[in-house]
Amino acid sequence: MGLFEFIGIVVVLYYLISIILWIVLDSDIELWIKERWGKPIDSLRGKVVWITGASSGIGKQLAIELARNHVKLCISARTVDRLQAVKEECLKQSKLLQPNDILVLKMDMLDIDQHQRYFDTVVTHFGGLDILVNNAGRSQRASFEEIDLKVDRELFELDVFSIVNLTRIYVKHSKGRGHVACTSSSVGLISVPNSATYTAAKHAIHGYYETLKLDHPSMDVTLFCPGPTHTEFLQNAFTGKHGQVYNRTVQPTDRRMTSERCAVLMATALANKCQINFVGPFPVPALMYISCYYPNLRKLVLMILGKSGLAKIRDTNVPQN
């Protein structure tokens, strides 16, 4: 076999294997490799991790997964009774953690003037903070032209500015050497219909966090991008109208990743200090690879799927506004 034939076969095999992996995996290939051969989640044992928005959904499951691996936690959100229930579950899952190892913090992320005080409470309690996970956030369903500017501002206040502010406090404290993570979304990398502000907010987070990594190369920065996941987030999602919530429930039969599986993958990304990962059921990984790396193919795929195809991948049976 000649050199060119050999190179040709290698290239064809590379693409063939890649396409098979995009179809069968529920994450990007890097995370799949890390889950099997990278650092296990229990390499985080004894570390201190603060998860915002830990009272439900992905944040709650991440707390439980990390507690199972004996990670000390600060869990924050606005609803204390739900946080207390998460703490009890965490203690049940860990044989080593003591009640003092899990701090429940009632915190509204929008209370930006109080962020420094919240931060000091956490650092004083544990004597330090190894990883800050900015997970709290709200989604949106509304058509572009129907969104009040007030909603744009409110959503950015929560999904962008509160995160940026808390992250800045942490970066100053850790002198640019810690580990900060954010639950972004697949919509941080690709655009989807019916969620203009939310899509823009997650894109903005990528801009901030990728610049943070450039400003502080010693800082570990993890952007974790889930696709559709089973949580309560459609109930509390913004619409286009100020003060309104979307108030729809995700159905058990919807094509979404479980929040438990999402949490395992996110914990793996944290343990391995990954920079950017995407997860989700087929066809999310395939769509993400095509959108991020093959712009011409992306145009074709988006044309074939159309607005309704994309919306269906995102929300299965939930009627679109």
Ligand X SMILES: NC(=O)c1ccc[n+]([C@@H]2O[C@H](COP(=O)([O-])OP(=O)(O)OC[C@H]3O[C@@H](n4cnc5c(N)ncnc54)[C@H](OP(=O)(O)O)[C@@H]3O)[C@@H](O)[C@H]2O)c1
**Measured between alpha carbons, how far is 49 from 70 in angstroms, rounded to an integer?**
11
Residue carrying the six token digits 């099997």: 36
Residue 188 Cβ, how far from ligand X at the closest point, in Å?
Answer: 8
Radius of gyration of the chain (CA): 20
| Closest CB to ligand X: residue number | 57
Size of the site for ligand X (CB under 6 A): 30
**Amino acid sitting at position 150:** K
3-state helix, strand, coil in the chain (%, to 5): 55, 15, 30
**Measured between alpha carbons, how far is 106 from 99 in angstroms, rounded to an integer?**
16
Residue 144 Cβ, how far from ligand X at the closest point, in Å?
Answer: 19
Residue 136 as a binder of ligand X (CB under 6 A): the answer is yes
- Provide the phi-psi class of 243: left if phi over 0, else alpha when psi is between -120 and 50, else beta: left
List the x/- string, 221-260, binding to ligand X by CB under 6 A.
-----x-xx-xxx--x------------------------
Do residues 109 and 136 lie in contact, with contact meaning Cβ atoms separated by under 8 Å? yes
Longest dimension (CA), the chain: 69
**Measured between alpha carbons, how far is 233 from 249 in angstroms, rounded to an integer?**
8
**Measured between alpha carbons, how far is 292 from 53 in angstroms, rounded to an integer?**
28
List the x/- string, 79-118, binding to ligand X by CB under 6 A.
x--x------------------------xxxx--------
Residue 8 Cβ, how far from ligand X at the closest point, in Å?
Answer: 39
Residue 78 as a binder of ligand X (CB under 6 A): the answer is yes
Residue 162 Cβ, how far from ligand X at the closest point, in Å?
Answer: 7
Residue 138 as a binder of ligand X (CB under 6 A): the answer is yes
**Measured between alpha carbons, how far is 25 from 21 in angstroms, rounded to an integer?**
6
- Stretch touching ligand X by CB under 6 A, among 131-139, 172-180, 212-220, 302-310: 131-139
Indicate which single residue of 26, 32, 55, 167 sits in contact with ligand X (rule: CB under 6 A): 55
Indicate which single residue of 167, 183, 222, 239 sits in contact with ligand X (rule: CB under 6 A): 183
Taking each helix axis as running N to C, give the angle between helix 57-68 and helix 80-93, from 0 to 180 degrees, rounded to the nearest 10. 30
Active centre residues (catalytic)? 198
Indicate which single residue of 185, 197, 199, 291 sits in contact with ligand X (rule: CB under 6 A): 185
Whichever of 143 and 235 has its CB closer to ligand X, that residue is 235
- Stretch touching ligand X by CB under 6 A, among 122-130, 135-143, 145-153, 292-300: 135-143
Closest CA to 164 of 245, 74, 273, 52: 52
Which residues form the interface with ligand X (CB under 6 A)? 53-59, 77-79, 82, 107-110, 135-139, 158, 183, 185, 226, 228-229, 231-233, 236
